[in-house]
């Protein structure tokens, strides 16, 4: 019988599922796996990160833009605990990433071995699927199960623990087989119940002023074309969540923009207030999208829902009609049912969308043209909007970048051109996620925008970027404060500021020490020129922008405006 080691079997199973990149960090318990990666001819590239959390965020960014499973790995003990934040973010965002953490030997359990940890218990609530491989011969079937779970139904993250002695055990080579279709998402998409389609069509056709709200599920399913057909046939305005940006081109006459408490403005909220039917597609109607379930007002607006996860339908609003299934297949069925009706007469129509956009961007333009110091965030967003090509990928960290870019940066083509970590909103996401995005879409310009608070979380990954020579541009919004929290202390606690300010760092000099080209800008008149230089740099670059802090700014965050 032709036999492989457990570590060799793991490498072959990853290869068979079409994995191209593995993001991770070495450790004692991972040595057999690393040796197998070294010896075998597998075609995969290992990207050495400086932190396991960063490796998980790299895998996340890769999966979002490539449509493939992102793979990260780390050692036992601290490596497993560090990799966890990336798994919970991906899982809640329906992004399929696989984390493989090595572990102490099965034979060493309960004997106070260094780095011993109950990995099964740790990762169970953080992932869609979680397993510990107890025997080497189980490596192939556990990998098959992990990929099947990550990419079917509602996608999510998976974790596998790989004990040291399991990596060295024997596996029958005949058991190395897999379905490469499960290396992409969504795999095996399912359509809706045929009986549900006409009911939702009737509800939609009967509405006087329907509005569609798209979450991340539309882009995940590749349903943009079917969404466009539905919106245009019925002349329905389309709003999105932050994760839903890219569901429709934001220069489309029916594209409202982002709604909700983070990135929404008064003009977009009116569509939520005035609709008599809200059609949610791949959207959970969570606290941000609905401004804590105030818009739409419960009882005043009917709700219809399309989602691949039946658990979210009816969770927050009574549902008039629903279709459970993949967004692309569901919308295709709905379009087929509706056909080509007569053009409806609506109050919420393309003209209403145009008026809302004109008012929204007139207010934005006034601030974006300001010569005030510190530089207004609006001016930075305007410069990025002008300089970046439509195919650029922009990643926004939480804090200052997210609301401004969500509201005012126009995504002019469908698909994943913009994203942020909206499930848990942890700082320090965009820098490593940009690394993954580069490998997932190497032909596009990748730009990560972060606050200086976020920069402090993972500045060490600048060494990774410099070592690999990645032509990514990093923009640091610098103001020496955890601005989101300080703005909340101002709006909700009478300005009683406590433990939110820190000292100013010269991020350009830090970046130069790591080997990046870098610029610092304080004068608004110099912003566009220096930003253009950074964006056109052939290697990695960083621009440090001294910006107005959030507590003093006019951010599109509803609770602060109120």
Say yes or no: 96 and 163 in one domain.
yes
In this structure, are 82 and 132 located in the same domain? Answer: yes
Backbone torsion region of residue 235, taken as left when φ is above 0, otherwise alpha when ψ lies between -120 and 50, otherwise beta: left
Q: Is 356 a member of any domain?
A: no
Task: Tell me the pairing of strands 3-5 and 45-48.
Answer: unpaired
What's 222's DSSP letter?
T
Output the pLDDT for position 562. 58
**CA–CA dist 268, 258 (Å, integer):** 7
Give a yes or no: residue 551 inside a domain. Answer: yes
384 with 469, same domain?
yes
pLDDT at residue 378, as a whole number: 97
Tell whether 505 and 409 lie within a shared domain: yes
Distance CA 460, CA 443 (A): 25
Residue 260 confidence (pLDDT) above 70:
yes
Residue 318: count of CB within 10 angstroms of its CB? 9
Q: Which residues contact 78 (CB under 8 A, 6 or more apart)?
A: 52, 115
In a domain, 337, yes or no: yes
> 3-state DSSP call for residue 502?
coil
342 found inside a domain: yes
Q: Which helix (H) or strand (E) holds 112?
A: none
Average pLDDT estimate for 226-245? 97
Distance from C-alpha of 11 to C-alpha of 173, rounded to nearest angstrom: 12
| Structural domain contains residue 190 | no
The total number of residues written for the chain in this structure: 562
- Is it the case that residue 1 has pLDDT exceeding 60? no
- In the DSSP assignment, the letter for residue 40 is S
Are residues 344 and 253 part of one domain? yes
CB 216 within 8 A of CB 241: yes
CA torsion 124-129-130-135 (nearest 10°) is 150
CATH code at 397? Answer: 3.40.50.970
Q: 431 and 556 share a domain?
A: yes
Question: How many distinct structural domains can be found in the chain?
Answer: 3
Helix residue ranges, H only, 181-315: 196-206, 217-221, 224-234, 266-274
202 in the same domain as 171: no
Q: Are both 229 and 265 inside the same structural domain?
A: yes
- Asked if 283 contacts 219 with a C-beta cutoff of 8 angstroms, the reply is no
Preceding omega of 358 cis (within 30 degrees of 0): no
295 — pLDDT class (breaks 50, 70, 90):
very high
**pLDDT > 80? residue 261:** yes
The residue range of the domain holding 308 is 196-351
432: helix, strand or coil: helix
Q: Is residue 269 part of a domain?
A: yes
Q: In whole angstroms, what is the distance from residue 441 CA to residue 103 CA?
A: 32
Strand partners, 255: 238
What does the block give as tokens for 405? Answer: 């870019």
The answer to whether the Cα torsion of 378, 381, 383, 386 is positive or negative is negative
Please check whether residue 361 lies inside any domain of the structure.
Answer: no
CB 208 within 8 A of CB 346: yes
Q: For the segment 307-333, what is each residue's pLDDT rounded down to a tens digit?
A: 999 999 999 999 999 999 999 999 999
487-514: per-residue pLDDT in tens?
999 999 999 999 999 999 999 999 999 9
Average of pLDDT values for 31-57? 98
Inter-axis angle of helices 461-468 and 507-514, to 10 degrees? 50
**What would you report as the CA-atom Rg of the chain, rounded to the nearest whole angstrom?**
24
> What gap in Å lies between CA 460 and CA 497, rounded to an integer?
30
pLDDT at 424 > cutoff 60: yes
| Residue 499 burial by Cβ neighbours in a 10 Å radius (0-12, 13-18, 19+) | exposed
Residues 14 and 134 in one domain: yes
Q: Which residues contact 184 (CB under 8 A, 6 or more apart)?
A: 18, 67, 68, 69, 151
Residues 6+ apart with CB under 8 A from 470: 435, 438, 446, 539, 540
* 3-state SS, residue 514: helix
The verdict on 138 and 209 lying in the same domain is: no
Please report the sign of the dihedral spanned by the C-alpha atoms of residue 214, residue 220, residue 223, residue 224: positive
Q: Are residues 459 and 481 in the same domain?
A: yes
Residue 188: inside a domain: no
**431 three-state secondary structure:** helix
Crossing angle (nearest 10°) for helices 401-408 and 350-368: 130
Single out the residue in 160, 183, 206 at which a domain terminates: 183
Residue 86 pLDDT: 97
Q: What is the CATH number of the domain that holds 257?
A: 3.40.50.1220
Q: Are 245 and 176 contained in the same domain? A: no
CA dihedral for 187, 318, 263, 281, sign (positive or negative)? positive
Q: SS3 for 443?
A: coil
The structure tokens listed for 43 are 């075609």
Question: What sections of 211-307 are H helices per DSSP?
Answer: 217-221, 224-234, 266-274
Helix, strand, or coil here: 450? strand
* pLDDT at 398 > cutoff 70: yes
pLDDT at position 343: 79
Looking at 148, 183, 218, the residue that finishes a domain is 183
Average pLDDT, the chain: 96
* 183: Cβ contacts below 8 Å, ≥ 6 apart: 17, 18, 19, 68, 69, 147, 151
């Amino acid at each position: 019988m032709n036999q492989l080691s457990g570590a060799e079997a793991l490498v072959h199973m990853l290869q068979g599922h079409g994995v191209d990149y593995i993001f991770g960090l070495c450790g004692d318990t991972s040595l057999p796996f690393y040796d197998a990666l070294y010896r075998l001819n597998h075609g995969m590239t290992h990207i050495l990160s400086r932190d396991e959390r960063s490796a998980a965020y790299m895998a996340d960014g890769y999966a979002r833009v490539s449509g493939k499973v992102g793979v990260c790995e780390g050692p036992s003990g601290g490596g497993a605990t560090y990799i966890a934040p990336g798994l919970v973010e991906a899982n809640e965002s329906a992004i399929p990433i696989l984390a493989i953490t090595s572990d102490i030997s099965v034979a060493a359990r309960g004997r106070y071995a260094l780095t011993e940890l109950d990995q099964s218990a740790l990762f169970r609530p953080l992932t869609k699927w979680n397993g510990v491989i107890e025997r080497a011969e189980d490596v192939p079937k556990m990998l098959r199960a992990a990929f099947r779970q990550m990419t079917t139904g509602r996608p999510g993250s998976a974790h596998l623990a790989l004990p040291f002695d399991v990596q060295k055990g024997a596996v029958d080579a005949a058991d190395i087989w897999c379905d490469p279709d499960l290396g992409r998402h969504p795999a095996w998409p399912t359509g809706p119940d045929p009986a549900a389609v006409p009911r939702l069509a009737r509800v939609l056709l009967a509405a006087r002023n329907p509005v569609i709200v798209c979450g991340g599920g539309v882009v995940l399913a590749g349903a943009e074309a079917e969404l466009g057909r539905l919106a245009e046939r019925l002349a329905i305005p389309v709003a999105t969540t932050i994760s839903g940006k890219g569901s429709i081109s934001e220069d489309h006459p029916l594209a409202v923009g982002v709604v909700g408490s983070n990135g929404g403005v008064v003009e977009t909220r009116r569509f939520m207030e005035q609709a008599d039917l809200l059609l949610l597609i791949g959207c959970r109607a969570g606290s941000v999208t609905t401004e804590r379930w105030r818009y739409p007002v419960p009882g005043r607006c009917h709700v219809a829902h399309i989602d691949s996860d039946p658990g979210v339908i009816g969770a927050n609003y009574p549902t008039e009609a629903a279709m459970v299934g993949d967004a692309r297949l569901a919308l295709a069925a709905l379009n087929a049912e509706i056909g080509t009706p007569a053009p409806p007469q609506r109050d919420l129509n393309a003209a209403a969308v145009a008026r809302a956009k004109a008012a929204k961007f007139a207010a934005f333009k006034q601030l974006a043209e300001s010569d005030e110091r510190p530089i207004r965030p609006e001016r930075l967003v305007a410069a990025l909007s002008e300089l970046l090509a439509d195919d650029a990928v922009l990643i926004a960290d939480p804090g200052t970048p997210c609301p401004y870019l969500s509201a005012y940066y126009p995504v002019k083509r469908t698909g994943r051109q913009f994203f942020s970590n909206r499930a848990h909103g942890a700082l320090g996401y965009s820098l490593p996620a940009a690394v993954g995005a580069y490998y997932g879409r190497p032909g596009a310009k990748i730009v990560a925008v972060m606050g200086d608070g976020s920069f402090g979380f993972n500045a060490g990954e600048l060494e990774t970027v410099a070592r690999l020579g990645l032509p990514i541009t990093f923009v640091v919004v610098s103001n020496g404060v955890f601005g989101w929290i300080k703005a909340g202390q101002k709006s909700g606690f009478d300005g009683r500021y406590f433990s939110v300010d820190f000292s100013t760092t010269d991020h350009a000099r830090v970046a130069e020490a790591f080997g990046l080209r870098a610029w610092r800008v304080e004068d608004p008149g110099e912003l566009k020129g220096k930003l253009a230089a950074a964006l056109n740099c052939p290697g990695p670059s960083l621009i440090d922008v001294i910006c107005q802090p959030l507590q003093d700014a006019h951010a599109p965050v509803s609770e602060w405006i109120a």
